[in-house]
Amino acid sequence: MLFLYNLIVQIAGFLLKIVALFSPKMKLFVDGRKVVFPALEQKIKPTDKTIWFHAASLGEYEQGLPVIEKIKEQFPSHKIVVTFFSPSGYEVRKNNTVADVTVYLPLDTKKNAQNFLKLVHPDLVFFIKYEYWPNYLAELKKLNTKTYLISGILRKNQLFFKWYGGFYREALNTFTYFFVQNETSKKLLQQLGKTNVSVSGDTRFDRVAAILEKDNSLDFISQFKDNTLTIVVGSSWPKDENLLVDFINSNTLNVKFIIAPHNIKEEQIQLLKNSITKKTVLFSEKEGQNLADFDVFIIDTIGILTKIYSYADIAYVGGGFGNPGVHNLLEPATFGVPILIGPNYSHFAEATALVNMEACISINNNKELDEAFTNLILNDDIRQEKGHMCSTFVQMNKGATAIILKHILNDPI
């Protein structure tokens, strides 16, 4: 099976180069990996001490950030190396300030793994949530490098638990310790004979709880809001927007809307703007405008949604009408904002918990969205109660970073 896996990776690498000729995203994926080894040679000396964190994409990076920051504090003489698999993670966070080196992870071939680890020579390695690359893990095991999984999630349908997944199960033997989010993941690992595992929880709660300590003010959002009840729509997709636009256009209540679409391509932004009959302004055209005069503010940029949530009275988080499902609910939740989402949320434990608590409302159609929004807009007590449940949920579930750090510091390099 390992031979077949390596063959598939080689074929995939070849095909991606062809796809990159036609896809801007795949071009970033391919071209970004061409400069990895030269960048590592330039930025890491053979005498440097390093610690390596790998994140599949932006969500995993944000999830691991509390641990990265604490490890950086505890090991100030080490260089922090962060790798991404996806362009959607790397391109957004390639200029982060917490890492000394941020690069794409080269494809999982034996040669790439050997070259990468020779150049990085990490003392500690952290894989965030998932992504188990057999060749990298095999080389790490040969080097006897301490390797940890943090905020791990395991499910029965993963390859580890299939009769033909032996080479993947072998890869798990690399990990020094598994820090998982829930008891189900712990039990699945125990079924494979793993005793080096504990339930630490999800470091995302630490990440979003820490947001409250930062300056989240945005003068232009404050000007737009103008002390008016505001609904913030985050990471919306067209299926979300179709429902939302109907409500916006028909709404007669004194409410403002901020929409931060998941995709900010100019063509799609213009389609969204043109579908709205209320007075609408884009972030890219806000200069010189009296933003208080507008009813709808479309955010056609990235990187400020978290701060925008701090101005929300109600939030709608997109993605729940597609696969794999709803986006990050914890950012609005930490600000004590009641949340609406679409129906596809069962793969996300925090979404399931918040819906079960009735702090978050799942809607399936226009009628349910209209009823939920109207109820929250007109009833201050209900809105505040649901918002309080959301913020309490975040505060009650933080602490995973401290558990992980305590174990690491008691297990010296």
Q: Which domain holds residue 179?
A: 22-201
Q: Indicate whether 224 and 272 sit together in one domain.
A: yes
Cβ-count burial of 167 within 10 angstroms (0-12 exposed, 13-18 middle, 19+ buried)?
middle
153 alpha-carbon distance from chain centroid: 14
What does the alpha-carbon distance between residue 258 and residue 264 come to, in Å, rounded to a whole number? 14
Q: Indicate whether 119 and 239 sit together in one domain.
A: no
- 211 domain-assigned: no
Q: Is the pLDDT of residue 292 over 90?
A: yes
> Quick one: pLDDT at residue 20?
87
Q: Is the pLDDT of residue 412 over 80?
A: no
Boundary-marking domain end, from 201, 228, 251:
201
Ranking 49-53, 98-102, 347-351 by mean pLDDT, the lowest is: 347-351
Q: Indicate whether 154 and 241 sit together in one domain.
A: no
Predicted confidence (pLDDT) per residue in 216-243, tens digit? 999 999 999 999 999 999 999 999 999 9
Kindly report the three-state secondary structure assignment for every residue of 212-278: CCCCCCCHHHHHHHCCCCEEEEEEECHHHHHHHHHHHHHCCCCCEEEEEECCCCHHHHHHHHHHCCC
Predicted confidence (pLDDT) per residue in 72-86, tens digit? 999 999 999 999 999
End-to-end CA distance of the chain: 34
Over residues 321-347, mean pLDDT: 95
CATH of the domain at 92: 3.40.50.11720
Query: What's the predicted TM-score (pTM) here?
Result: 0.88
> Quick one: pLDDT at residue 355?
98
- 409 domain-assigned: no
> Quick one: pLDDT at residue 41?
97
- 15 domain-assigned: no
Residue ranges of alpha helices (H) inside 47-177 are: 58-74, 87-93, 110-120, 134-142, 166-172
- 309 domain-assigned: yes
Specify whether the backbone of 201 is left (phi greater than 0), alpha (psi in -120 to 50) or beta: left
Structure tokens at 78: 């080490």
- 232 domain-assigned: yes
Averaged pLDDT score across all residues of the chain: 95
> Quick one: pLDDT at residue 25?
87
Predicted confidence (pLDDT) per residue in 332-343, tens digit? 999 999 999 999
- 280 domain-assigned: yes
Are 351 and 345 within 8 A, CB to CB?
A: yes
Question: Nearest 10 degrees: CA dihedral of 214, 218, 223, 229?
Answer: -50
Over residues 27-32, mean pLDDT: 92
Percent of the chain exceeding pLDDT 90 equals 86
Predicted confidence (pLDDT) per residue in 166-216, tens digit? 888 999 999 999 999 999 999 999 999 999 999 999 999 999 999 999 999
Per DSSP, the three-state class of 30 is helix
- 8 domain-assigned: no
- 208 domain-assigned: no
Q: Indicate whether 123 and 264 sit together in one domain.
A: no
Q: Indicate whether 186 and 222 sit together in one domain.
A: no
CA 318, 322, 323, 325 torsion-angle sign: positive
> Quick one: pLDDT at residue 381?
98
Over residues 96-106, mean pLDDT: 97
> Quick one: pLDDT at residue 284?
96
CATH of the domain at 238: 3.40.50.2000
**Among 335, 298, 339, 295, CA closest to 318:** 339
Percent of the chain exceeding pLDDT 70 equals 100
DSSP state string for 331-342: HHHHTT--EEE-
Give catalytic residue positions: 60
**71 confidence band (pLDDT: 50, 70, 90):** very high
Q: Indicate whether 292 and 359 sit together in one domain.
A: yes
Predicted confidence (pLDDT) per residue in 112-126, tens digit? 999 999 999 999 999
Ranking 69-83, 94-108, 164-178, 385-399 by mean pLDDT, the lowest is: 164-178
Per DSSP, the three-state class of 75 is coil
Q: Indicate whether 224 and 192 sit together in one domain.
A: no
Q: Indicate whether 78 and 147 sit together in one domain.
A: yes
Q: Indicate whether 230 and 154 sit together in one domain.
A: no
Per DSSP, the three-state class of 19 is helix
What does the alpha-carbon distance between residue 365 and residue 368 come to, in Å, rounded to a whole number? 6
> Quick one: pLDDT at residue 345?
96
Predicted confidence (pLDDT) per residue in 256-276, tens digit? 999 999 999 999 999 999 999
Q: Indicate whether 170 and 235 sit together in one domain.
A: no
What does the alpha-carbon distance between residue 410 and residue 413 come to, in Å, rounded to a whole number? 9
What does the alpha-carbon distance between residue 209 and residue 137 come to, in Å, rounded to a whole number? 32
> Quick one: pLDDT at residue 165?
84
Determine if the peptide bond prior to 46 is cis (ω within 30°): no
Higher pLDDT, 49 or 4: 49
**304 confidence band (pLDDT: 50, 70, 90):** very high
The label of the residue with tokens 């391509």 reads: 265
Q: Indicate whether 188 and 260 sit together in one domain.
A: no
What does the alpha-carbon distance between residue 339 and residue 69 come to, in Å, rounded to a whole number? 29
DSSP state string for 296-320: EEE--SSS-HHHHHTT-SEEEE--T
**7 confidence band (pLDDT: 50, 70, 90):** confident
**Structural domains counted in the chain:** 2
What Å distances lie between residue 383 and 84, 102, 155, 269, CA to CA?
38, 41, 35, 30
**Among 358, 351, 354, 356, CA closest to 324:** 351
What does the alpha-carbon distance between residue 277 and residue 117 come to, in Å, rounded to a whole number? 56
> Quick one: pLDDT at residue 16?
87
> Quick one: pLDDT at residue 69?
97
Per DSSP, the three-state class of 376 is helix
Boundary-marking domain end, from 166, 201, 236:
201
Structure tokens at 208: 């979003």
> Quick one: pLDDT at residue 46?
96
Q: Indicate whether 105 and 232 sit together in one domain.
A: no
